[in-house]
Structure 1
Amino acid sequence: MMNIGIVGGGMMGLVLAYRLSQQGHIVTVFESNKQLGGLTTYHDYGPFVWDRFYHVILPSDTHLIKLIKDIGLGEKLRWRPTLTGCYIDQKLYSISNTLEFLRFPPLTLIGKLRLAFTLLYGSRINNWRRLEKIPVEDWLLKISGRNTYEKLWKPLLLAKLGDNYKRVSAVFIWSYIKRLFSARDSSLHKEQLGYVVGGYKTVFNQLEQLICSNGGRICTAANVEYITSDPKGGLWVKHSKDKEHFDKVVFTGPVNVLQRVADQNLIEVRDNSTTVEYMGVICMALITRKALVPYYIVNLADQRIPFTGIIGMSNLVSLEETAGLHITYFPKYVISDDPLL
């Protein structure tokens, strides 16, 4: 049995704490914010509480689904068919099934066939590693053709990644296609997406309760200032509330934060931590009495619109969750040093 400190109270940190506490270890989770969750945290919108950012569960998210069932929330998992839209050439189209894809007016017949081939071909690729060194633009141009790329794929890439799309490998679009296909009900040819009743707050509350019942601790509003090794063994964690000693420490936050808080005694660990360039997100949530769009997601293939997409969450989530109101997210992904952040 070990005394283990875990820095970061997001999904990774909480699941790790839960699994370690199941094995009999004493765990302490440090979260700098006042509430748990990280990027999957929740927000009080007044009449209701729901996720701060948009999240959805796909049938392919087998590890997440298993976790939800393991912690006793299987009965709170809901699945519903959803619709998908695409805004292009100043018009909104439904692309929720195969027939609507074939009717998609902005593309020529050849363009539609090449798009269909791209989606089918990408969905059947299992060895994604061979795509790591292929730029996403090169891969899409080869498979989809220039017309489909310029008309559809490039605007979508710009909306999601900005100019960073030029530095992204084909793995990015492969993962998008795989997730798209995994959400399709093979018998109905409809998209099936899921959520947990009460949102991710339900999941975090349950994990916190289980961790504490196993003898663990959760420390929120505890900003970790430094982590250093102890010559006598173990490590020290200095945070805004105290200084504590642990046999092991697991850091689940961004690598650049680890590099800032890790002491020189851990320089070897710091040097072995691959530098990752993160993107930021600005996500406006609009609460209305009526639905703004009939789709769960609207893909924006129009560079004049300053959003990555439009997420009609209430077209998936029951209105009972949101006090009869509709919640629509307008996300925008930006580089980490963008002035908007």
Structure 2
Amino acid sequence: MELRMNLGIIGAGATGLTAAWDAVRVGHQVTVLEAADELGGLAASLEVGGVPLERYYHHIFRSDKAMIALIEELGLGDALRFHKPTTGIYRGGQLIDFTTPFDMLRHPEFGPVDAVRFAGSSALLKAVRKGDRYNDLTALAWLRRWAGKKVTAAIWEPLLRGKFGDRAEQVSMAWLWARIHCRTFELGYVDGGFERVYAALKDGIEERGGKVEFGKAVESIRQDGADDAVVTCADGSSYGFDRLIVTTPQPAFAKAAGLPDDSAVWKNQYLGATCFVLELDRSAIPYYWLNINEPDFPFLAVVEHTKMIDPSVYGGRHILYVGNYVEREDWRFTTDPGELLDTFVPYLRRINPAFERSWIQTWHFSKAGFAQPVVTPEYRALIPAHETPMSRVTLATMAQIYPQDRGQSYSVAMAREVTAALGLNA
């Protein structure tokens, strides 16, 4: 190991806390600076019935090896359980089962040829081991050719337009390949929520002499010559570090570092995320996950978390997420949350005609400005290196996990790659 280093990390999400955990275990002095007052980044939690619950719906897949390994490493392996929840699509005013391959082939808009093309194109994407061949292709163009226009119009185009809006035609096929190839039908969840993982990381860091400080919104990052990296926060505090790892979104880093407008970190674009957590007195949908494939709906997906985790965990409340990815200037991002919920209720009633506003006992609303990178064929060339113009500053952000776009497991894996490259872990 190198000499003991004074390491700073900006961001207490999966990447930042994993990097801190790795570094502190081999004797480095570590300080994590987090702007919010909670752990987890986009996996941060609120409480329902005294139990942590993610602000934005979260689960992991059987293929998420890095996250599974970290959970086991922290002694939480027995708390990780895998489930086989159900999936549906809302389209044409009806709920369509979409859980099993057999369900998928029976989609009411598919004829026999469409079913074969859907199955064949999906199987191909599962079989292809590397998605490099799709780097220069757009998803919808590929799908229209191989899955067919009818299948694309019924399944894929509504999903991409619901998620990316006017940018749907630009989305990379490599991104879609990664979503299909790497995912499994089984979903994993930690008893008591993923908050337990982040709390265990924080406790482990602090037990070994590290620090996790909240309310530390970074205003500037500077380095003069070979000197330390200096971080100044909005509360007036200042820190000097031998080495700094920044895990915030690219634009936030670029602004703090004073990088020129032509810098690569400015060029990749992000959508914001909004998410309601509705605490209901009864179940609202018959599925865990419901994709909304109706173009006039103002939200992308409805997820009934308590179709996977028993409502008794949350004091009998049924947990319904209503989620969106939108431009930060979009009315769904800027509207008062109470007014926004009133707008959404009639659409929830279209899904379930019995739904009443009175079913909602309590609700929570969260939004994040930089939640979903827009992965286009040009995206890969714009991904910045981990190295930055400042020799002591390393960037490790979700825009660098191409062709994936985010995810706890990919964040953990990236953290470990970065700490290994910097000689900060065992």
Please confirm whether the aligned pair reaches a TM-score higher than 0.5, indicating the same fold: yes
Equivalent position amino acid for 2:39 in 1: L
Q: Deviations 1:74-130 (Å, cap 9, x if unpaired)?
A: 111011111111111111011222222232212111111111111101111122122
Segments of 5+ residues of structure 2 without an aligned counterpart are 334-426
Q: Structure 1 CA distance, aligned partners of 2:17 and 2:315?
A: 29
Aligned to 1:2: 5
Match status 1:302 vs 2:294: yes
Equivalent position amino acid for 1:177 in 2: I
Q: Deviations 1:273-314 (Å, cap 9, x if unpaired)?
A: 463211111111111121111211111211122111111111
Query: How many angstroms does 1:331 deviate by?
Result: 0.5
Q: Structure 2 CA distance, aligned partners of 1:255 and 1:161?
A: 19
Identify the match of residue 197 of structure 2 among 203, 211, 222: 203
1:131–1:171 CA contact under 8 A, matched in 2: yes
Aligned to 2:283: 291
Match status 1:246 vs 2:246: no
What SS does the aligned partner of 2:84 have?
Answer: strand
2:16–2:32 CA contact under 8 A, matched in 1: yes
2:43–2:56 CA contact under 8 A, matched in 1: yes
Aligned to 1:188: none
Q: Structure 2 CA distance, aligned partners of 1:286 and 1:310?
A: 11
Identify the match of residue 102 of structure 1 among 100, 105, 129: 105
Aligned to 1:335: 327
Provide closer, same or farther for how the CA distance between residues 278 and 272 of structure 1 changes in structure 2, counting only shifts above 3 A. Answer: closer
2:10–2:245 CA contact under 8 A, matched in 1: yes
For residues 52-63 of structure 1, the aligned pairs below 5 Å read: 52-63=55-66
Aligned to 1:255: 250
Aligned to 2:305: 313
Q: Structure 1 CA distance, aligned partners of 2:226 and 2:50?
A: 53
Provide closer, same or farther for how the CA distance between residues 102 and 258 of structure 1 changes in structure 2, counting only shifts above 3 A. Answer: closer
Paired positions, count: 329
Equivalent position amino acid for 1:13 in 2: G
What SS does the aligned partner of 1:69 have?
Answer: helix
Match status 1:31 vs 2:48: no
What SS does the aligned partner of 1:101 have?
Answer: helix
TM-score by length of 1: 0.91
2:105–2:118 CA contact under 8 A, matched in 1: no
TM-score by length of 2: 0.74
What SS does the aligned partner of 2:285 have?
Answer: coil
Q: Deviations 1:158-217 (Å, cap 9, x if unpaired)?
A: 1121111111110222122124xx42xxxxxxx321101111211111010000111100
Q: How much identity, in percent, do the aligned residues show? A: 29
Match status 1:176 vs 2:165: no
Aligned to 1:17: 20
Q: Structure 2 CA distance, aligned partners of 1:134 and 1:39?
A: 29
Q: Structure 1 CA distance, aligned partners of 2:236 and 2:205?
A: 21
For residues 105-184 of structure 1, the aligned pairs below 5 Å read: 105-179=108-182, 182-183=183-184
Give the root-mean-square deviation of aligned CA atoms. Answer: 1.9
Provide closer, same or farther for how the CA distance between residues 128 and 336 of structure 1 changes in structure 2, counting only shifts above 3 A. Answer: farther
Segments of 5+ residues of structure 1 without an aligned counterpart are 184-190
2:51–2:192 CA contact under 8 A, matched in 1: no
Query: How many angstroms does 1:46 deviate by?
Result: 5.4
Q: Deviations 1:212-263 (Å, cap 9, x if unpaired)?
A: 1111000101111111114562121111251111101111101111111115
For residues 19-98 of structure 1, the aligned pairs below 5 Å read: 19-45=22-48, 48-98=51-101
Query: How many angstroms does 1:336 deviate by?
Result: 3.4
Aligned to 2:347: none
Query: How many angstroms does 1:45 deviate by?
Result: 3.7
